[in-house]
Each structure stands twice: as structure tokens, then as C-alpha cells.
Amino acid sequence: MIITPVFIVLISIVFILVWLFANTIDKRKWVSLLISIVLTPIAYFYVFYPFINIFVSYHHEKHFDTEAWTSKPALRYEMSNEIISDSLFIGKNKEEIKTLLGKSEWFGWDDSIKANSPEKWNYNLGFKPGAFNMMQECIELEFKDNKVIQVKQYQLEKTFEEKD
């Protein structure tokens, strides 16, 4: 475990809450302190921390790797931040993209031609972890003159079909 300022602040908040609760049980300060010292780690790691992980969307980030991209498509979202922020694919041609990412999973809609355009390649990035997350992460690469000119990330709401 790495001790960070955020951890210290959160564990302090939990300690204060446990201290206030312990004071309702017994008014003796040394008993309240003892209860607080014993119960704070338990309350933090078994109640507070899991509760935060359910509602906060945090995920690991990884550097882009072609092998990981193809072997673990459900975890592609871990590489998306680097792809977008570092503009990894801007200026690359379609053959280079096909070598790095594989064949396009679907073409994006182009309003100017009112159809799916072979100049907009889309890839599924998977689902970011988190409770109640129904949004599928996707990435779109837009080509002009056989070169990537824009990379954007977007979300699609995933709906599950019911079996009859």
C-alpha cells in the first residue's frame, strides 16, 4: 500500500467518524480512542473503500501495445487516454492502422453522404469498470487522403436483449 495525501485525508475522515461513533458508546476518552484505533482500518478497508470503488470511475492506464490491443479487446479502454492525448495515429495511413489495430470493426456514419463511410473506422474499447456503467467506450479514426486526421473517443449505451 502506498501512503498518499489522499489516503491520509480519507483515513482521517474515517477515524473522526469512528471516534464520533465511539463517543456515543462510551464517554471515557481512552475507550473511545482504543475503539477508534481498532475500528478505523476495518471501517476504511471493508466499508468506505469498497463503497468509493463502486461509484468512482477509476481504471488503470496502459501504454499502447498492439499485442495487448488484439489479445484483450475488453481492456482497450486502458490505452485510450494515451491514444487520444498523444495523437498516436494522426498522420498514419490505413495500412499502418490496419497493422497496429487490425481491420476496422465498423464504419462510422457520415452525414454528408448519408451512409457509413469507409473513411471513418471505429473500434470497440470495452467497458470502463464501475457500478451501473452501461456505456461502451469506442474510438473513431477519421481519414482524409488515406491519412488519419482526427481521433475521437465516444460512448454508446449498451442495451441487452431479452430472450424469448
Asked if residues 89 and 148 have their Cβ atoms less than 8 Å apart, the reply is: yes
What CA–CA distance (Å, rounded) separates 78 from 12?
A: 31
Domain topology for 66-157? Beta-lactamase Inhibitory Protein; Chain:B, domain 1 (3.30.1450)
109: confidence class by pLDDT, cuts 50, 70, 90: confident
Residues, the chain, total? 164
Q: Grid cell 470503488 — which residue?
A: 53
What CA–CA distance (Å, rounded) separates 83 from 90?
A: 10
Q: Grid cell 471516534 — which residue?
A: 19
What's the pLDDT score for residue 123?
93
What's the pLDDT score for residue 141?
93
147: confidence class by pLDDT, cuts 50, 70, 90: very high
Q: What angle do CA 88, 93, 94 make, to 5 degrees?
A: 105
Range(s) of the chain covered by CATH 3.30.1450.10: 66-157
Q: Is the pTM of this model over 0.85?
A: no
Q: What angle do CA 32, 38, 39 make, to 5 degrees?
A: 85
Q: For a pLDDT cut of 70, what percent of the chain falls above it? A: 96
Q: In what order do the strands lie in the sheet with 115-127?
A: 106-110, 115-127, 135-144, 147-157
pLDDT tens-digit map of 54-98: 777 666 788 888 898 889 888 888 888 888 888 888 999 999 999
